[in-house]
Amino acid sequence: MGDIVFSGGRAEGEVSPPPSKSHTHRAIIMSALSEGRCRVSSPLLSFDTRSTIGAVRRMGAEVLEEDGYLDIFTEELHAPDGPIDVGNSGTTLRIMTGIASVFGSETVLDGDSSIRKRPMGPLLDCLSAAGVSCSSEGGKPPVRVRGPIASPVLTIDGGVSSQFVTSLIMSAPLTGRPTDVRITGHLVSRPYIDITTEMMRRFGVEVGESAEEGCRVYHAEPQHYRPADYRVPADFSSAAFPLVAGGLAGKVTVRGMDPKDPQGDKRIVDVLKEAGCRVEESGDSITCASTGNLEGAEIDMGDMPDLFPVVAVLLSTAKGRSRLYGAPQLRFKESDRIALTERMLRSLGADITGTSDGCVINGVERLHGARIEHCGDHRMLMAAAVASLVADGPVSMDDDACWNVSYPGFPEMMQSIGMKVERRRSRYSSFRDGAFTLR
């Protein structure tokens, strides 16, 4: 496999971040549920979203990939005649588990070794209490579900994963009866639920929302998703990487952003400002520039957990003490992202200590180079790449292309704004020279 090596540089230029992965997943599934013909424009075609395309195809949807869009057509969605392989996509696993629960035949969902570590217990317990036959390996994949949902009330703790809640809300209109999704406890990553309900409205499904003592309730009458064309917006979580690069070592502009989008990750703009970067917003563009004077900050990561690794990198060389908090769900992502971020940054010389819901960072003047372990986590690899901009040596890691989960072309994008990127062959390679640079 070999290594990919990031050796810092100065980040200068303009980029267009890829489309939103979260929106693309939902648009594909809602298009398939509409049982008509839909066009999804500007989709993110990555490892994860291709897993969702494969899942809806197994359930009877036709998906035609063209340059810049997907045409999706379904006459009737049904339980698949074999297992659904979700690969490494937790979003596919969790949303499709809820959708499968409305069918009267069994659906099996499985994935790679990483996905088999992802917790599914709260969602399966909720569905079981509502009459769905569920089984798993100790609350983890592979999972088997056989519907239909027989209860008018679905109750789940909102403190583990917003994907569980999205799964239930998207399924509720399909049960054939008025259905309440009751969320107890603190609802993590609330903006992702807002994305779900806003997109459902685009596909003709209305969901009511109310607050009761001790819980939040989403109510859905029996409804059908209706065909619609949908354009996927740019992804703020991906835009965070070039923006932080600009804030650490240069000036970078990202284009194609929608400031009105409900994505929680658009808060990266506020985080950069609070840390002392110079940020300018104009229309669909955001520019972030280094001031050479980063300051520590206290940041609630509850609504933007995907930004945790790169925000920790941003603050690793900020003056004083920083605290990231409010995101215990990070322990249950592609990896334990709190532990892995701590280990990655410690390897590079940062003073960071993980906590139950985030971390504490005491800023150092500079990081140093090292070989880090990203464990196949795309956001960890990309955050480590950005960290090389404030490191006194190269940052190397396995070249397994895991960035394709959310940011196809990430190394080329970073090189286009001035980062030094190199790929080194494994010692078993037959090539003569020791390395080559991305072109």
Element (H, E) at 181: strand 179-184
Provide the edge-to-edge strand list for the sheet that holds 37-41: 62-66, 69-73, 37-41, 230-231
3-18+235-437 CATH, one of 1.10.760.10, 3.65.10.10, 3.10.450.350, 3.30.479.30: 3.65.10.10
The per-residue pLDDT for 334 is 63
Sign, Cα dihedral of 311, 266, 402, 110: positive
Judge if 3-18+235-437 and 21-219 fold alike in CATH terms.
Answer: yes
Closest by Cα among 338, 333, 370 to 353: 338
The per-residue pLDDT for 428 is 43
Residue extents of the structural domains in the chain:
3-18+235-437, 21-219
The per-residue pLDDT for 262 is 84
Distance between CA atoms of 99 and 51, rounded to whole angstroms? Answer: 15
CATH number for the region 21-219 comes to 3.65.10.10
CA dihedral (103, 104, 106, 112) in degrees, to 10, reads 10
The per-residue pLDDT for 176 is 95
Mean pLDDT by 10 residues, the chain (439 residues): 93 96 97 96 95 97 96 95 95 97 97 93 97 96 97 94 96 97 92 95 97 93 97 95 98 93 92 98 96 97 94 98 94 83 98 97 97 94 98 96 93 96 68 38
The per-residue pLDDT for 368 is 97
Contact residues for 237 (Cβ-Cβ < 8 A; gap 6+): 20, 21, 263, 265, 268, 304, 306, 307, 379, 406
Distance between CA atoms of 166 and 43, rounded to whole angstroms? Answer: 20
DSSP string, 57-116: HHTT-EEEEETTEEEEE-S-----SS-EE-TT-HHHHHHHHHHHTTSSS-EEEE--TTGG
Q: Residues 85, 306, 377, 399: which is the catalytic one? A: 306
306 is catalytic: yes
